[in-house]
Amino acid sequence: MMEQARNQLIFALDVETLAEAETWVRRLRDRVGVFKVGKQLFTRCGPDAVRMIRDNGGRVFLDLKYHDIPNTVAGACREAGRLGVAMFTLHALGGGAMMAAAASALNEMFSSNPQQRPLALAVTVLTSMNEDSLREIGVSLPPAEIVPRLAALAQKAGMTGVVASPQETPVIRQTCGKDLIIVTPGVRPASAAADDQKRVATPYQAILSGADYLVVGRPISKASDPEAAVGGILEEMARAFADR
């Protein structure tokens, strides 16, 4: 179970420079299976960040949350595939046609070697948002209702999985079944601060409720002993995999 936990823990490289990112990758690559490259690092360093992680033996979660017209997103997904990332994100709020175009582009690109196809993950509702935040932008449904609706739309469009808060994972499982992959941010050990996340859970709770991958950043990077912090998270994940 510990190896499964390691393979399914994603560390968020929310840093400014390639040198900082490589320091973290070298430090944690034996403990963490996947490294997340988000907007800050990719905007500054571009594909070099992805190549650096792969050169150091890590898998890459490219978290750029594509959201545009279908043709533009399909092209971006092809480029993510060419970079050799293990998984990437787009916004479910882009709609069914956008997600279907992305899935079609990947299916065509990897028709001869489907095992190399990256996981295409649709972001449902950001974990920094709650019912009040949604109401501000004109969405009257609470997260517990809109998230499974978006997850079902993503599944129908051919997405491999979704990104969702641990609080909505059980209802996604009820709606979409066991085959849809769920990546869960907003994960905080009980001793860690929530920071700007509003819908959170501990690693044990998140896995037990049905998550497949966990994304963790500041509870590791801001810890006095990051390696010990990773170890504690892995132990919680492994216990949850065994218990569910």
Q: Catalytic site residues?
A: 65
* Beta strands, E only, the chain: 9-12, 34-37, 59-66, 87-91, 119-123, 161-163, 181-184, 213-216
- Which sign, positive or negative, has the C-alpha torsion 84, 34, 161, 46? negative
In the chain, which ranges are continuous DSSP H helix? 2-7, 18-28, 39-45, 47-55, 70-83, 96-109, 131-136, 143-157, 169-176, 203-208, 218-221, 226-243
Residue type, 76: A
Compute the chain's Rg from CA coordinates: 17
Q: Report phi then psi at 85, rounded to 5.
A: -75, 155
Name residues whose C-beta falls within 8 Å of residue 169's C-beta, 6 or more positions apart in sequence.
Answer: 182, 184, 206, 209, 210, 211
